[in-house]
Amino acid sequence: MQCLVITGASSGIGLATANTFQQAGWRVINISRSACPLKGVVNVTADLADPTMVAKISALLLDSLQGCTALSLIHNAARLDHDTVQAVDPEALRQTYEINLIAPAALNRLLLPAMSEGSSILYVGSTLGEKAVPGSFSYVTSKHASIGMMRATCQDLAGSGIHTACINPGFTDTEMLRDHIPADVMPEIAQMSAFGRLIDPTEIGATLLFAAQNPVLNGSVLNANLGQIER
Ligand SMILES: NC(=O)c1ccc[n+]([C@@H]2O[C@H](COP(=O)([O-])OP(=O)(O)OC[C@H]3O[C@@H](n4cnc5c(N)ncnc54)[C@H](OP(=O)(O)O)[C@@H]3O)[C@@H](O)[C@H]2O)c1
């Protein structure tokens, strides 16, 4: 059986992705603080900001993989703060890096021995992995590093039959976006795509399933943003 291990499937893009993979016949294992509401998903409760997270969940996580032939590991959970280069809080920056970067690296190390040929490691990046906007300092720097991590993953796993890619969503209709953008500004945000609307999380889920199934994408950065309008 094909298995998906995904972080942050309790809401938004992660939840939609878990549903998409489940519908396609995959077993889904979610890692987040609150549970994924989908029936049949195995929940491994963890706070990715906790540096001891992997030690705490490794036995349960590895046990949940029994019977998995190929694995897709999707690093989806992330933290997004409003902060700037002038006023970044070092502890908040550390926590963002712990969730957005250290946890993916630690999960890769834990799960790679269980990943056979045909497996994949997919990173959910952001448009802000390749450009910056004011006021999202820690997020922008971490998402740039996600692309670097994907590229290093590709080089280190050459010959293993395991592929990787980084999918960069544009403005997607989730709690993270609604928390970050005031409601009265949202219509303007929707107009920043060439389709004049927000992305539905299911569209990113479908893109991630496609990436998991197509090793030809190995090493790619995929911009899944409906064509962002630059102003
Ligand atoms: N929405 C957008 O417009 C957009 C655009 C570009 C990129 N993205 C990227 O898409 C990904 C998903 O974001 P989303 O929009 O779907 O956000 P979301 O709805 O807020 O979901 C975030 C998920 O991350 C999990 N998470 C956050 N902190 C965690 C922690 N400390 N430990 C464990 N899990 C944690 C949350 O689970 P718990 O709270 O249950 O722990 C939740 O399931 C992120 O990588 C984000 O950067 C989103």
Residue 120 lies in a domain: yes
The residue whose CA is least distant from atom 43 of ligand 1 is 8
Q: pLDDT tens digits, residue range 84-98?
A: 999 999 999 999 999
- SS3 sequence of 86-146: CCCCHHHHHHHHHHHHHHHHHHHHHHHHHCCCCCEEEEECCHHHCCCCCCEHHHHHHHHHH
Q: pLDDT tens digits, residue range 78-128?
A: 999 999 999 999 999 999 999 999 999 999 999 999 999 999 999 999 999
Q: Does the C-beta of 49 come closer than 6 Å to ligand 1?
A: yes
Cα(159) to centroid(ligand 1), Å: 32
The residue whose CA is least distant from atom 38 of ligand 1 is 33
Residue 11 lies in a domain: yes
State the number of CA atoms in the 13 A half-sphere of 25 facing the CB. Answer: 5
Residue 167 lies in a domain: yes
Residue 204 lies in a domain: yes
Give the CATH number of the domain where residue 121 resides.
3.40.50.720
Residue 206 lies in a domain: yes
The residue whose CA is least distant from atom 1 of ligand 1 is 172
Global pTM?
0.98
Q: Does the C-beta of 4 come closer than 6 Å to ligand 1?
A: no
Backbone angles phi, psi at 56, to 5 degrees: -70, -35
Q: pLDDT tens digits, residue range 135-145?
A: 999 999 999 99
**Element housing 73 (H / E):** strand 71-75
d(CA 113, CA 110): 7
Residue 229 lies in a domain: no
Residue 148 lies in a domain: yes
d(CA 95, CA 59): 24
Question: How many CB atoms are closer than 10 A to CB 97?
Answer: 17
Give the residues across from 193 on adjacent strands.
228
Provide the pLDDT for residue 16: 98
Range of the domain at 158: 3-224
Q: Ligand 1, from 10, 13, 48: best to mutate by most atoms within 8 Å of Cβ?
A: 13
Residue 231 lies in a domain: no
Cα(23) to centroid(ligand 1), Å: 21
The tally of domains found in the chain comes to 1
